Structure 1
Amino acid sequence: MRTLVLNAGYEPLAVVSFKRAIVLVMNEKATIIERIEDDPVWGTSAAWDRPAVIVLTRYVRVPGGRRVPVTRRGVLRRDAHRCAYCGKAASTIDHVLPRSRGGADSWENLVACCLRCNNIKGDRTPQEMSWSLRLTPRPPHGTGWSVRGTERADPRWEPYLALAA
């Protein structure tokens, strides 16, 4: 079971295991605001509600320069699994400026691409092929990208994630 951790200002910070959440609650560093009623955690001296969402008692400053690491899965997710050239279903990624010409593995140079377009394009740039990109590749943003673990969000978290959007 996973628990959503909210900052003192109610912005989502992370998703942690319920064990880590219980430790934060027991040490009075967080309070439970959404619980799972049917399955308490039993200790030697008391029973604790199993937390679904907790809020920290003190505000934690989050560094502003948090960059999302570039991954194949992330590029496909950012581009909604659609080819940047033809718009069909994408299963591969493509370097807009090929690596052989100095293209980097960056959010600005990688796009989702279908296998057919990737094979046709090969080691050329879209300009050389007279192709245009259907989207401008840029780093992802939003709470779904900045809060680790919210890709498989629990339905109980939706009101709290919507506050930060």
Structure 2
Amino acid sequence: MGRKVLILNQDYSALSICSVPKAFLLVYLNKAELVAESDLYKLHTVRDEFPMPTVIRLHRYINLPYKGVMLTRQNIFKRDGHRCQYCGTHEDLTLDHVQPKSRGGKTNWDNLATACKRCNSRKGDYTPEEANMKLRQRPFKPSFLMFLRDFSGTVDASWMPFLVSKRERIYD
């Protein structure tokens, strides 16, 4: 059962993603309430049938001072769609400092891009412009909501009302 469940804070803001068994346990232990359930699937025991949660809301507010996306190798790969940002291949991926470290380039979201070993080696200690290589997309730091919505894999339709920022709601 590889399905995921969106966890909302008490104020209905997106907090995290968890497995179906963990979400069911939180609801069963009365630590969370069921907000949305699957139309297609149910959870079965020997005697009973329960709705399969897709969105749950915690009964207690969890204060998270930092709600951002951790800078990790895998998260950079997710942001870039597991593609080399120079040639587009999925093979032999590594990380590239767009502005080389030897020239003061930082290790941050705005300077790291996914690159295959061949392109990374070809670019070497140059900027993309100096190496005559064009980036498919400029590196950027994704927001927490953007990361949950766009980069966490399959997103259930019932998640979407909770994964739209206030700014996006205003412009719709």
Q: Same fold (TM over 0.5)?
A: yes
1:43–1:56 CA distance, 2 compared to 1 (3 A): farther
Q: Distance in 1 between matches of 2:63 and 2:129?
A: 44
Q: CA RMSD in A?
A: 3.6
What TM-score results when the alignment is normalised by the length of structure 1? 0.69
| Other structure's SS at 1:15 match | strand
1:131–1:11 CA distance, 2 compared to 1 (3 A): same
**Which residue in 2 is equivalent to 1:42?**
45
Offset, 1:39: 1.8
**Which residue in 2 is equivalent to 1:145?**
147
| Other structure's SS at 1:162 match | coil
Q: Distance in 2 between matches of 1:66 and 1:144?
A: 10
Identity of aligned residues (%): 31
**Which residue in 2 is equivalent to 1:89?**
88
**Which residue in 1 is equivalent to 2:163?**
161
Aligned equivalent of 1:56, options 39, 42, 58:
58
**Which residue in 1 is equivalent to 2:33?**
31
Q: Which has the higher contact order (CA 8 A, sep 6+)?
A: 1
Aligned equivalent of 1:5, options 7, 11, 30:
7
1:63–1:82 CA distance, 2 compared to 1 (3 A): same
**Which residue in 2 is equivalent to 1:74?**
75
Over alpha carbons, which structure has the higher Rg? 1
Contact 1:70 1:107 in 2 (8 A): no
Offset, 1:135: 6.0
1:3–1:100 CA distance, 2 compared to 1 (3 A): same
Contact 1:108 1:137 in 2 (8 A): yes
Q: Distance in 2 between matches of 1:133 and 1:50?
A: 42
Q: Distance in 1 between matches of 2:137 and 2:43?
A: 48
Q: Distance in 2 between matches of 1:125 and 1:163?
A: 34
Q: Distance in 2 between matches of 1:122 and 1:137?
A: 18
What TM-score results when the alignment is normalised by the length of structure 2? 0.66
Contact 2:145 2:165 in 1 (8 A): no
Contact 2:34 2:57 in 1 (8 A): yes
Q: Distance in 2 between matches of 1:28 and 1:163?
A: 28
The alignment of Structure 1 onto Structure 2 pairs a total of residues equal to 159
Contact 1:5 1:15 in 2 (8 A): yes
5+ residue gaps, structure 1: none
